[in-house]
Every structure is written in C-alpha cells, then in structure tokens.
Structure 1
Amino acid sequence: FRQMLENRTSSALRLLDMQNNYMSFRTCGELSRLAERRGMKVRLAGNRVLDEVFNSVSHGFGELLAIAGSVFLAKQLGERPVYQVCVIVMYCAALNILYTCSMLFHAFFALGRTTVYIFGVLDYSGIFVLIAGTYSPILGVLLYDEWWAAGLLAAIWTIAVVGIWTAAFYRGPYQIPLRLSLYISMGWAVIGLICPILRRLGRWGTAWLVAGGVLYTGGVPFFVGGRHMGIVPSHTIWHLFVLGGSAAHYVFVYKYIVRRKVLPQVSEALDTEMSVPLQPL
C-alpha cells in the first residue's frame, strides 16, 4: 500500500478503505500522511487495537472505582433530606455514566460505523453529564440556601443538554473545538462560586475542588494530541488525567459535602438562643 500511495502516477484512487484490519497506530499514521499527500480519503476505523485496549481498560478500571465509590457514598447518606440524597445520587450516576460509556466506546471500536457512532455520542455526552453531575452536590447541598443556587444548577444542566445535542446531531465544522469550549467553560464556571465555597469550607476544601479542575484541564492537550508517549497512546494519558480529576472531586464531595454537617444559619442560631427561658438566680 505504501508503494502504491507513493506512486504519484496512480491518480485514479480516491478512497482507501482499511477499516477493521487491526493495524497499529504507527501504520495508521503512515497511511494517513501518505493519503493526505495524494489528496485521498482513507478509512481507518477498527484499527489501533493496542491503543483501544489501553483506553478501554483504563476507564474500565475507573468504572470499578466509580461503582465502589458510589456504594460507599450511599452508605454515608444516613438521615439526610431526600433532596440532598437525590443530588448525591445524581453525582454518582454521572460518574458511572462517564466511565461506562467511555469503556464501551473504546471496547466496541471494531463493531462497525453505526455502533462506533452511537457509543461515540454516548462517550462525549458522558463528559457533559459528569460536569453537570459534579455541580449537583455543590449547588444542591453545599450552597442550597443561596437564592441563586437552584437557577444556576438548572442552567448548568440545560447547557449539558445542549452539549449532548451537539454531540449527537451537529455535523458542521469545528466539532471538537466546540465541545472542548463547552466542557472547559462549564467546568471553570465554578470560579464564580469560589467566594461562597471559601467562606464555608476554607482553603483546603476549595483546594480539592480546584485540583480536580486543574487535572481535567491538564489532560486536554493529550485529548487533542493523537500521539504516543512511548507505547502509551496520548488518549490513555488523557484518561489517566480524568481518573485523577474524578478522584479529587470525589474526595471533595465525600469529605466536604457528604460528611459535612449542615450548620444552622446565624439567624436560626440566634432565634434558638433567645427562645431558651432564663433561669432564676
């Protein structure tokens, strides 16, 4: 194939279908470069087997951790109000959706265009779901008494739905930049909440939240890179950054939201104190 592609006199060939041949990353890259020089299209779905094994196993491991973490969090909820239980469950569900969809997308890489398309949409959608799901315990439990919390949470989920729609139906230019801009802008919108979070949790609690965002964002260059670091594909390194970001946010949710006792507001505490009858001296 390389000799054929390098032969510039063979100009009739316009499409080379090399799907499901289980070729390596290096071979696929070489074919892509040669085809680009010739102005040809080359279909390479169903290849890069080792890459997809790394990708699927890394987030399969993440899904096992997500299941264990969800069960553990569920046991810690105790007598919390129903609405708080619901938003914690939303967070756990979002975590499991992300890792399950990502694992299956990479595991089913050779099952045909329709299957790859469906699970690709689910994979991209899982990121939107996790971002909105992570906001849910922050706005629904930690900051629930702020007048703007419910409206902001609804807005975040609305943006997530719009993002899912773009993943499923938008076929115009700049698809990846559009999704990345939505991911990053949604995630870092939390900067607007830093002051109220700092007042309630202090520096260490806020640091776990920010650390998760930094890890997620730090993996973006590997997400768009499409290269290898030794034998490890850059996409797998992106997966490792996602695992790190998820772990940091899990610690934040568990230690500073689930385990945190909801203290009464200052006005409520004063009312309680004033209602205690004075004892005679």
Structure 2
Amino acid sequence: MSIDYSRPLMRGVTHLVMFFVSFIACCFLIYYSNSYLEITANSIYSIGLCAMFGISALYHRLNCSIKTKLLLRKLDHCGIFIMIAGSFTPVCLLALPSESGNILLTIVWSLAFIGIIQSIFITRIHRWLRATIYLIVGYMVFPFIKVLYISLSLYKLILIAAGGAVYSLGAIGYGLKYPKLNPKIFGFHEMFHLLVVIAAILHFIAIYNLI
C-alpha cells in the first residue's frame, strides 16, 4: 500500500493525526475512570472514537486495490455509526437517570446497528441520504433534552450541544459538497473532516468531565 496522491493533498490527514491524539487522550480517560461502569462506558466510547479516526485515515490516505478500498469504505461508514453510538454511551450510563439513559442508549445503538447493516449491504446511496441518516441517529437525543438539562451542568450541556451543532454543519457540508475550496489540497471533504475533529474534541471534553 502507498499514499493515494489522486485525492486532495490533505485528504485524511486530520483524521490520521486525530487517531493518535484520540488514542492517547482515551488512555487517560479510561485510566482516570473511577468505577467499573465508568471504565466500561468510556472504553466503548474510546473504541468507537479511535476506530472512526483510524479507519477513516486508512481509507482516505492509502492507495490500495479496489477490493480493499471498497472494504475500507464500508468500514469507514460503519465507523461513523459506532462513533455516534459510542459517544452517547458515557452520557447515557454516567449522566442520565438509569431509565432514561437505558432507553436512549437502546434507541441509539439499535439505529446505529441498522446503519451499519445498511453500510455493509446497501452501498449505493446518495451522500445526502447518508448524511441525513447520520443526523437522524444523532438527533435521537432531542426527546431527552429536558432530562439532559436537569442531569448535566450548563458547561457540559453547552459542550455537547456545540459538538452536535458542529457535527451537523459537517454533515450538511458533506451532503452539499460545500464549501468549494482548493480541490487539489483542501476541499469540502477535508472541511467535513475538520468539523468532525472539532466536534469530537468538544464531546471528549464533556465526557471527560463526567468522571
């Protein structure tokens, strides 16, 4: 395998860097967890986060056979669903009342599982539809806004809301192929990746403050 030079120069770079940053940060997150529940919830979150960035970096940076590329593409899309559900896991298990948290967690992981099945077996869908599916899974939090408001401090709530807003901007830009920047160096897809990085950092800070 070698670097794929046919894509924008910065394609996958931010996610490659974030894989290593996330791995180190998540090691600290798990190390400072205080109970088995915190360790479990944060481990699931960490696996999802690192898997998303790692698989994305491989898919977008490496030049490989068509068969391998298609496999990585499926895994890349699956990784997004795992990351979304993984990000919900610490919030549901550590911050929300058990009943509300378990309901939300079941809904999100069920939808993520459906999204993973779709990513594996139904690969030819429009990018707008794919972006919409990601948003639907993430927006499952809305019926639980009141519970979140009661359970979380304003600081954590702002971090989670800001992260969700940035993820949404990224998904919309991905669907619209916007903004049109420099396609040889840093295009709309790279902006999408950058927004994912920013949102992931905001959510990591919020989750770290749950322990």
Q: Same fold by TM (over 0.5)?
A: yes
Q: TM-score, normalised by structure 1?
A: 0.68
Aligned CA distance change for structure 1 residues 222 and 103 (closer, same or farther; 3 Å):
same
Query: 58, 65, 78: which is aligned to 2:21?
Result: 65
Is the contact between residue 74 and residue 123 of structure 2 (CA under 8 Å) also seen in structure 1?
no
Is the contact between residue 11 and residue 186 of structure 2 (CA under 8 Å) also seen in structure 1?
no
Residue 74 of structure 2: aligned partner: 121
Q: TM-score, normalised by structure 2?
A: 0.89
Matching of residue 212 in structure 1 with residue 168 in structure 2: no
Residue 58 of structure 2: aligned partner: 104
Letter in 2 for 1:238: F
Superposed displacement of residue 227, structure 1: 6.7
Residue 237 of structure 1: aligned partner: 191
Residue 192 of structure 1: aligned partner: 143
Letter in 1 for 2:119: A
Is the contact between residue 194 and residue 206 of structure 1 (CA under 8 Å) also seen in structure 2?
no
Structure 2 runs not aligned, ≥5 long: none
Matching of residue 137 in structure 1 with residue 95 in structure 2: no
Residue 33 of structure 1: aligned partner: none
Rg: which structure is higher? 1
Residue 12 of structure 1: aligned partner: none
Residue 14 of structure 1: aligned partner: none
User: Counterparts of 1:213-228 in structure 2 under 5 Å?
Assistant: 213-224=164-175, 225=177, 228=180
Superposed displacement of residue 205, structure 1: 1.8
Q: Per-residue CA shift, 1:200-236, capped at 9, x if unaligned?
A: 2232221100000011111124323177413411111
Compute the RMSD of aligned alpha carbons.
Answer: 2.0
Q: Per-residue CA shift, 1:105-158, capped at 9, x if unaligned?
A: 0122x3121111000001111110011001100111111x33232233122111
Letter in 2 for 1:250: F
Residue 277 of structure 1: aligned partner: none
Residue 254 of structure 1: aligned partner: 208
Runs of 4+, deviation exceeding 4 Å: none
Is the contact between residue 125 and residue 164 of structure 1 (CA under 8 Å) also seen in structure 2?
yes
Structure 1 runs not aligned, ≥5 long: 1-21, 23-45, 259-281
Residue 157 of structure 1: aligned partner: 109
Aligned CA distance change for structure 1 residues 198 and 248 (closer, same or farther; 3 Å):
same
Residue 83 of structure 1: aligned partner: 37
Is the contact between residue 163 and residue 200 of structure 2 (CA under 8 Å) also seen in structure 1?
yes
Query: Which range is displaced more, 191-200 or 116-125?
Result: 191-200
Letter in 2 for 1:155: I
Matching of residue 94 in structure 1 with residue 38 in structure 2: no
Q: Per-residue CA shift, 1:92-116, capped at 9, x if unaligned?
A: 11100100010000122x3121111
* Percentage of pairs with the same residue: 22
Aligned CA distance change for structure 1 residues 206 and 226 (closer, same or farther; 3 Å):
closer
Aligned CA distance change for structure 1 residues 152 and 221 (closer, same or farther; 3 Å):
closer
Matching of residue 48 in structure 1 with residue 6 in structure 2: yes
Is the contact between residue 159 and residue 202 of structure 2 (CA under 8 Å) also seen in structure 1?
yes
Matching of residue 202 in structure 1 with residue 153 in structure 2: yes
**Cα distance in 2, alignment partners of residues 238 and 123 from structure 1:** 14
